[in-house]
A and B are shown apart, each in its own frame.
Chain A
Amino acid sequence: MIFVSGEILSTVDIVITRPEQKKIEAILHKVGLTTEDLKCSICKEDLSDLKHLRAIFPYGSAVVCCDKMECLIACRDLLIKKVAEE
């Protein structure tokens, strides 16, 4: 996980978008990642082709989530647990 120095949003909580290459690259740049090292934070599946990328949570540290439901739940638990980093 990469530490993100930027503070959490004040205007938008969730952004929903298509997984477009340029957009994702811009988002990843903000959280200090590149598409090459894009992996699910839970199952470590390679997500560099963006096909199975479901969500990125730049909350404290970036949590990257693939499209498996169990990973989504685990990511959520990770987000709930993350308090000290805020």
Chain B
Amino acid sequence: MPSQQSVLTLGDFLKNFFEEFYWEIILGVALLFFGALYTFGRKRIKKWLFKRKVNPTLEKIMAVYERDILPEFVEAKPKIKVLEEKEVAPSELPFGYIFVPMGQEELVWDVLLTCLPVSCSLRRIRVLFDEKLRKAMFDVLSYKLGEKLDKGETVIKIRDNAIRVYPDDYEVMEKIYEDGKLTTIILYEASKRFRATGGKISISDVREFSRLVRKMPEIDAGIQRIFKSPADYYVEEAIKKKRGVILLARGTYIEKAIQVADELCKKGFEKFTTDELGFSNPDTGIWYFVHPESRLKETPFMCIWLKWKGGVADEML
């Protein structure tokens, strides 16, 4: 009996309680509901805002980089991932993590303009350039990217620094870029050399390639490696292109390179003078190999720089 009485008492109590605080309870439940909705919704909005604010910047930068800065060299396009709140960072280490605080999404511009060219696959072939040229190349790319995106005030500091510290090399790179030779000649050539050496670049590779890059703005010439094809083939190829040619030969192919150069000199080409180049022509030396390991460690090399005069070759064409 006492227990039945206490149940009734509890029931009465609850009934009285709900009657007494009916609106307060309704209000409390409603507040909890809207509170939860706000908390959940706010997170969703934050996430949505992060991607919404960062993605257009990314798309804009990437489009300009790919279309205007390094066309014909799409392998250099960096891969970027925007990580949402609950997403875990990739297990592999990326080149870089960029942190963008809430409400400061504009800051992503500075980091991307500064580091985007450095972060992409160009970093693999950059080992062919000596340090100043390497810096100058990335300076030019960052500056041009910023200029195209109307962010000159950000990247001007990069150019100012380059002009102060290594003005000659910056000028070389800028001229190469403006002449359209960066992708068509320099990076193309660097990729080929990088593949040929398996990424193991020797000091000879760096020295010769950097010399080539520094000379490139001054001359109109393509590179022709002398290998197994007959000499006539190289002569015809050079004449067809109607521009200067740099014959590069190593070891046993040196004799063939001399033969090709002699033939070309009879057909509208002439050798650059030492004064024009700043070094002897033909340029000779010892090439040290790092890759492949089983191969010869060193061999003589010769580089013959020829300029196009036209004339006889024009008649042949």
Contact = CB atoms under 8 A, between A and B. Distances in A.
Does more than half of chain A's interface fall in helix, strand or loop, or is it mixed?
A: mixed
A57 B261 CA distance: 48
B101 interface: yes
B27 interface: no
A55 B118 contact: no
B79, B97, B118: residue with the most chain A Cβ atoms closer than 10 Å: B97
A6 B89 CA distance: 15
Interface in A11-55: 11-20, 23-24, 26-27, 30-31, 50-51, 53-55
B158 interface: yes
Interface in B8-43: none
A24 B99 contact: yes
Given A59-B95, A79-B118, A13 B110 contact: no
Nearest to B54: A16
A14 B95 contact: yes
B221 to A, nearest CB: 28
A6 B95 CA distance: 11
Given A13-B78, A19-B101, A55 B89 contact: no
A14 B93 contact: no
A77 B83 contact: no
B95 A8 contact: yes
A83 B127 contact: yes
Interface residues of A, number: 44
Contact of B50 (A7, A15, A18): A18
Contacts of A20: 85
A11 B58 CA distance: 17
Given A17-B99, A72-B111, A12 B81 contact: yes
A70 B157 CA distance: 8
B177 interface: no
22 contacts: A8-B93, A12-B81, A12-B90, A13-B96, A14-B80, A14-B81, A14-B96, A15-B80, A15-B98, A17-B99, A18-B100, A19-B100, A23-B83, A27-B97, A31-B93, A54-B111, A56-B99, A59-B95, A73-B157, A76-B118, A80-B138, A83-B126
Interface of B: 50, 54, 58, 78-83, 85, 88-90, 92-102, 107-108, 110-112, 114-116, 118-120, 126-127, 131, 134-135, 138, 142, 154, 157-158, 161
Query: Which 9 A/B pairs are nearest by Cβ-Cβ distance?
Result: A17-B83, A19-B99, A13-B78, A57-B96, A58-B93, A9-B94, A14-B80, A12-B94, A13-B119
